[in-house]
Copies of this chain bind each other. A is one copy, B any other.
Amino acid sequence: MIQFQCDYSEGAHPRILERLVETNFEQTPGYGEDIYCRKAAGLIRNVCGAPDADVHFLVGGTQTNFTVISSILRPYQGVLCADTGHINVHETGAVEHGGHKVLALPSENGKLSAETARNAMIAHMEEDGPEHTVQPGMIYISFSTELGTVYTLAELEALAAVCREYDIPLFIDGARMGYGLASEGCDVTIKDIARLADVFYIGGTKQGALFGEAVVITNDSLKKDFRYFIKQNGGMLAKGRLLGIQFLALFEDGLYFSLSEHAVSLAHKLRAALKAKGYAFLVESPGNQQFPILGNELVKALSSEFGFSVWKNVDESHTAVRFCTSWATTPDAVDKLIEALP
């Protein structure tokens, strides 16, 4: 079985494992206060062009989302979010468990528009008795989104402008940030993200690490006591250096970016081959996820040899599926898949 199911089927890039082995018997302080975390934080500040940012390492995406959101909102505030957003649909209500409403808004291709967000702010303020409703206290978006799309720089600037206008922070979930940045036509850089977001994270789990998400806080007012939040929310790894070592390996010479490009280029190769064979697509996708439309019998036949997601019935005899490439996908695997498609 060859997997195109998701981007966390394998372990980690071998260089990361090597580093873990090399450093295994070093004795370091716990809880992220070691030299590796400090070095990795420095590299990330540098690559983000954010010399004053605070950088913290957490274990997983859901944990990072509810920890960051918990650190920002007052109890009566909620988080504006695309209705397709991960925090709204795939985290078992973790944000609500922490006491906050996810204010889900209509979205297009997984993206929340500045206009929609602004209208939500205005609608709240125009309420007759706004205290009877949840006050929007921040905006959450994903880069890239759940549907593999990416915001343009203009779209991000517009969202950031709404945030500045209403004095609320912009939080960018970057669980797949690398794949987003490497996507076709992407005009956003990681420095743009650091400049426009008040807080964001760079995902490791889906981008070549065993696990780990690097939170970058650029807005000074959000920095205070963040380690308390990490600890209280179960994100403070005892052997915190495991996170530092992994991000060091990802960022010391650009591995994070080259792995992302690897995944995206293989996705594009697959896309080109599918187009050449005459297949249609559900959406035009610029990144590491492709959504071709296949005949139902082909779907069945393929699934004995390949892992992928059945996405959506298109008509009685056709189905859109998702093929996802990753840092670990081999050219050979893609060739085999192409070959198997008539």
Contact = CB atoms under 8 A, between A and B. Distances in A.
Given A27-B1, A99-B96, A132 B231 contact: yes
A233 interface: yes
A24 interface: yes
B97 A99 contact: yes
Interface stretch (A44-52, A69-77, A138-146, A275-283): A69-77
A131 B225 contact: yes
A249 interface: no
A235 interface: yes
Interface string A120-138: 0000000001111111000
A99 B101 contact: no
Contacts of A94: 231-234
Contact of A234 (B11, B20, B132, B234): B234
Interface string A228-264: 1111111111110010000000000000000000000
Interface centre among A3, A78, A227, A232 (most CB of B within 10 A): A232
Nearest to A75: B70
B92 A134 contact: yes
Interface in A8-31: 8-12, 14, 17, 20-21, 23-31
Contacts of A25: 10-11, 328
A228 B17 contact: no
Interface in A270-310: 307
Interface string A84-103: 00000111111011111110
A93 B100 contact: yes
A90 B234 contact: no
A210 interface: yes
B92 A232 contact: yes
Given A26-B10, A97-B99, A131-B227, A75 B234 contact: no
A71 B131 CA distance: 14
Contact of A96 (B1, B101, B230, B236): B101
Contacts of A132: 31, 90-92, 231
B27 A238 contact: no
A319 B200 CA distance: 45
A60 interface: yes
A148 interface: no
Contacts of A2: 27
Contacts of A101: 93, 96, 102
10 contacts: A9-B29, A11-B24, A11-B239, A61-B238, A90-B132, A92-B228, A92-B231, A131-B225, A131-B227, A206-B238
